[in-house]
Amino acid sequence: MLGFVSRRPIPIGRYLVEAPRGLLHMSLHGEKAPHRDGFGYVYLDGAGRPVVSRWGKAALDLVPAGFPGDLSQETTLLIAHARKASPEYRERLPAQDAHPFLVGGFALAHNGGIRDAELLDAGPGIDSLRLARWLAHTWRPRTPAALARALEKLLTLVHDYTAVNLLLTDGGSLYAFRRCAEKPDYYGLWFHVGPRLVLVASEPLADVGWQPLADGELLAIAPDLSLSRYRITIP
């Protein structure tokens, strides 16, 4: 996963394909690579509206050393995800199961597997989509403090998961949450604060200047790049 908030519009491909250790590198050579079961991103267009594009494994197989789609658009906010399907979903690799999911006015990308996601939502779809639908009803109002409360409630409902590492946006702020129950070296989440943007990624894009999110930490990045940090109680 990778996301950013920027003071000025930048091409979405800058950190997806142009950066030496960007999302494309992670998908091909990162921890437990390849992550090529799906790809998608959501960005804000010039009118501030979210635009979502997603592809399944078949589309990625046509560009084995790249990503599909036009990555030249410029934006001030992006969430992107290169999927590695959980074992129970290895046969479900179409575009509709790629992240991020746009539900109820916000977008969500998720790393990890929630085996008891039916406790959140009994409707169709993979665990991450069920989580997105649950958050759409539970995260109200759409404030950082309310999201922290929703995540605390979430962790009292689900118990059989590898990780609930999330990137979310309501079209204004970018949120990053890390909770891993297994493989903490693999299920990491990192952020970097620059003069004109804040980046978040599941692996650092460089050797210096990146800080890890603690297990159970929620990071909120406002459009003006101010940061708020919350510790979520882990039952």
Q: Phi and psi for 174 in degrees, rounded to 5?
A: -110, 135
Q: How many CA atoms lie within 13 A of 22 on its CB side?
A: 16
Q: Which CATH architecture has domain 2-231?
A: 4-Layer Sandwich (3.60)
pLDDT of residue 125: 95
pLDDT of residue 92: 86
Structure tokens at 190: 């990192």
pLDDT of 90 above 90 = no
Q: What percent of the chain has pLDDT over 90?
A: 97
Q: Phi and psi for 28 in degrees, rounded to 5?
A: -95, -35
Helix axes 144-157, 127-138, angle to 10 degrees: 130
Contacts of 31 (CB under 8 A, 6+ apart): 185, 186, 203
Residue 222 CA to residue 125 CA, distance in Å, equals 31
114 with 187: CB under 8 angstroms?
Answer: no
What Cα–Cα distance (Å) separates residue 136 from each residue in 95, 104, 112, 132, 226? Answer: 21, 5, 19, 6, 24
Residue 96 CA to residue 33 CA, distance in Å, equals 22
pLDDT mean over 201-209: 97
**Banded pLDDT at 88 (limits 50, 70, 90):** confident
Contacts of 124 (CB under 8 A, 6+ apart): none
* Per-residue pLDDT tens over the stretch 166-191: 999 999 999 999 999 999 999 999 99
